[in-house]
A and B are shown apart, each in its own frame.
Chain A
Amino acid sequence: MNRTLTAFIKKELTQTLRDVRMRVLLFGAPIIQMTIFGLALSTEIKNIKLAVFSSPGDALFERVAESFYASGWFLRAGHEPAEDPYELIASGRADAVLIAPAEGLARSAGRGGGKMQLLTDASNAAKARAVESYAKNIIAAASVREYGARPEGTFRFDVRVLYNPAMESSMFLIPGVMGMLVCLITIILTAMSLTRERELGTFETIVSAPLSNAEVLLGKTVPYMLLGVIDTALVVMAGYLIFGVPVRGALWELALASLVFVINTVSIGTFISTVSRNQQQAMLGGFMFLFPAILMSGVMYPVENMPRIVIAAAYLDPLMYFVRLLRNIMLKGGDAHVLWTNLGALALMALFASGFAYKRFRQTLN
């Protein structure tokens, strides 16, 4: 690398980091956010407010209801005996209501029914699904306990969960959140600051300096790539220290993946800046990219579930590949097949994105 370029990159780097607020936003905010999300979020549904309705003296039903509360997923929701169960849920005082058969559970079971009714608030459909599946498991266990004698039958599964045996949500969410944060920061940083320079007209000054177009572009973008890679390293370290999220694969794989990913996002940021006339437009452009990229990354819900057309769109999302790589390298130890196919796809996209950004950049410069 020639000396002018190195000096140029150094100057850009110090300029970006001179502002205290920028330093906080670049290095402090990702760690704080990751900590908050890691602690707060869980894919497990908990604290479900359950109310129970039965005729007095239904001892069997009371034991069943008790096993709901003992499971740790349900909380007691109090109510008046004469209250309408529907109203209880509509007003939000209960998420679910368990109702015993009118004749009493033991008698109903004796006649072969034993059917209780569960009303759940399905205004959050995902939560309602979880409530039903918990309830079914609890009832099945209660059935065995009350009536003994192998009603479970002779066939069963021996279930084992790999890579994350305790099914801790943070293990799986943190690599995803990392990817989102790095994506967000690098895109905004590049798109906004390059557009700002265009607004201020500083590019004209640079053009008159003895630097080639490619050198100008490199001088402007390499600092952001460096910052992106440093940010990845920071969040990986924080994930390991705070949440014990392991890095089972090699560190160089992680470094390579983040470098190729950051080249993608910085190129996209540069492209956004070349089509925006002011920072407001750059902001909208950034938003237009970031929102879909985050939703299609597979962090919030599995990508494979989406309709085919949308899956096709997700294959154009660099964040999806990066999140896959992060999860595979960190949790599974980096399978060669996954590593090279996803890295290959990312590299190909980086090539296209940077080539395109360079072409646009040269046009706007001249």
Chain B
Amino acid sequence: MNGFNIHRAYAIARKEVMHVLRDPFTLALALGLPVLLVTFFGYAMDFEVTDIKLAVSDGDNGPAARRLMDIFSSSGYFRLAATGPDTEPVSMLDSGRVSAALYIKPDFSKKVKGGDQVEAQFVLDGSDNSKAAAVMGYLPGIRRAAQTRLTGTAARDLLSIETRFLFNPELNSRWFTVPGLAAIIIGLLAILLTALTVAREWENGSMELLLSTPVRPLEIIAGKLVPYGILVLAGVFFVYLVSRLVFGVPFAGSHLLYLAACLLFITAALSQGLLISVLTRQQQVAMQLGMITGLLPSMLLSGFIFPVESMPAFFQYLTMLLPPRWFMAAARGIALKGAGLGELAVPFLALGSLSAGMLALALKKFKTDLE
């Protein structure tokens, strides 16, 4: 027995390719699933909160109250779900039929007319934070509009800002969800496919058989990983086409760098899958572990939706162990900001060292199990 032999690795790879080709269901899903899910959720996900159902308890029933309601409904964010003096906003909030409520006191119109200080109570359902925070953000604008239209005197703002949104001037949510979704789906698929295929060999006992032949562990691993790497890379290509053609996601950077980032990320995901399979050796346990380490962390901790920088310091360090976190940064950087090698050095290095680390661990475990 000598070092790495490319022919033996190739033979293993060929066998794996045959296995995948024999199973059109797996092949179709592995190729089609990423495109399907990216298309569907790229279309579905939107972070701008609109159509907020508002109940109004109008004790005033005067012109100013009606004007205030009109300001809410014409803002584009709110929909009046129930109005009138008999409305019971609290029970409607309890049952979730409305997300916010407005209380107008009986003397509202009178006070507005008299130019007195006047207020309306605004009650918000805090059981859904993502919505509540957005609604809170809309209120200052509504107040300003109400001030102008109710009293006729515009609120004079001596200081103001003009915001320019760089890299995504219209704040199109798709531009940042689509690349993120792609990273999650592709990463998870790569982990699960490899974890299961290697675990299967252990489960069937064919791994022992393979190891008794002159094939070296590294050749087995390379032969097993490369076909799935290519399969996943094909998935990336389709996802790329969909995000450019269907969603019009811009691509400011270099395609070559993007390809490099994809290859690094896929390698990391494949290594993670391999490590899982070597540790578990059973498909069911491998799948549980793959999902647990792959799905929720990559959705929630990678910066896909919840920015990493907003997390407490300890968790910011913890996310550094997650390949999707680095790929997410690299993919968004290349596509939207046109990032060059200088900005990408850290994510690239991180992905590379994570892959190397996981591969080394897997190989070590593999070898100790043989003795």
Which A residues are closer than 8 A to B by beta carbons? 19, 21-22, 25, 29, 33, 36-37, 39-49, 64, 86, 89-92, 95, 98, 105, 109, 112-130, 132-133, 135-137, 139-140, 142-143, 146-147, 151-165, 167-169, 171-173, 177, 180-181, 184-185, 188-189, 192-193, 196, 277-281, 283-284, 286-288, 290-292, 294-296, 298, 300-302, 304-307, 310, 324, 327-328, 331-333, 335, 337-338
For B285, list chain A residues within 8 Å (CB): 19, 21-22, 25
Residue of B nearest to A165 (CB): B126
B54 shortest CB reach to chain A, Å = 13
Beta-carbon contact of B176 and A153 below 8 Å = no
**What are 26 inter-chain pairs, A to B, with CB distance below 8 A?**
A25-B288, A29-B288, A33-B292, A40-B300, A40-B318, A43-B130, A90-B343, A109-B159, A112-B158, A113-B160, A118-B162, A123-B333, A139-B160, A151-B158, A153-B151, A158-B121, A159-B124, A162-B93, A164-B132, A165-B126, A177-B296, A192-B284, A192-B287, A280-B193, A291-B37, A305-B46
Query: Residues on B close to A: CB < 8 A?
Result: 23, 25-26, 29-30, 33, 37, 40-41, 43-51, 91, 93-96, 112, 115-133, 136-137, 139-140, 142-143, 146-147, 150-151, 153, 155-169, 171-173, 175-176, 185, 188-189, 192-193, 196-197, 200, 280, 283-285, 287-289, 291-292, 295-297, 299-301, 303, 305-307, 309-312, 315, 318-319, 332-333, 336-339, 342-343
Are B305 and A21 in touch, CB under 8 angstroms?
Answer: no
Given known contacts A162-B93, A184-B296, A40 and B311 CB-to-CB distance under 8 angstroms: yes
Are A116 and B188 within 8 A (Cβ)?
no
Q: How distant is the Cα of A165 from the Cα of B37 in the complex, in angstroms? A: 36
Chain A residue contacts of B192, Cβ below 8 A: 283-284, 287
Question: Quick check: B306 and A292 within 8 Å, CB to CB?
Answer: no
Assess the A328–B312 pair: CB atoms within 8 A: no
**Bound Cα distance from A36 to B96, whole angstroms:** 29
**Residue of B at shortest CB range from A337?**
B95
Q: When A41-B306, A280-B196 are in contact, do A142 and B166 touch as well, CB less than 8 Å?
A: no
> By the criterion CB–CB under 8 Å, are A305 and B50 in contact?
yes
Question: In the complex, what residue of chain B is closest to A86 when comparing beta carbons?
Answer: B166
When chains A and B are docked, how far (Å) is the Cα of A112 from the Cα of B154?
Answer: 14
Q: Is the CB of B127 within 8 A of A288?
A: no
Task: Please report whether the interface of chain A is mostly helix, strand, loop or mixed according to DSSP.
Answer: helix
Would you list the 3 A-B pairs with minimal beta carbon distance, nearest first?
A164-B126, A40-B315, A122-B165
A279 touches B284 (CB 8 A): yes
Q: Is the interface of B mostly helix, strand, loop or mixed?
A: helix
Cβ of A304: which chain B residues have Cβ within 8 Å of it? 51
B295–A160 touching, CB < 8 Å:
no
- Knowing A136-B161, A300-B305 are in contact, say whether A151-B156 is a contact too (CB < 8 A): yes
Contact residues in A for B288 (Cβ distance below 8 Å): 22, 25, 29, 185, 188-189, 192
Question: Given the complex of chains A and B, what is the CA–CA distance between A33 and B210 in angstroms?
Answer: 37
B159 with A160: CB separation less than 8 A: no
CB-based contact A284/B158 at 8 Å: no
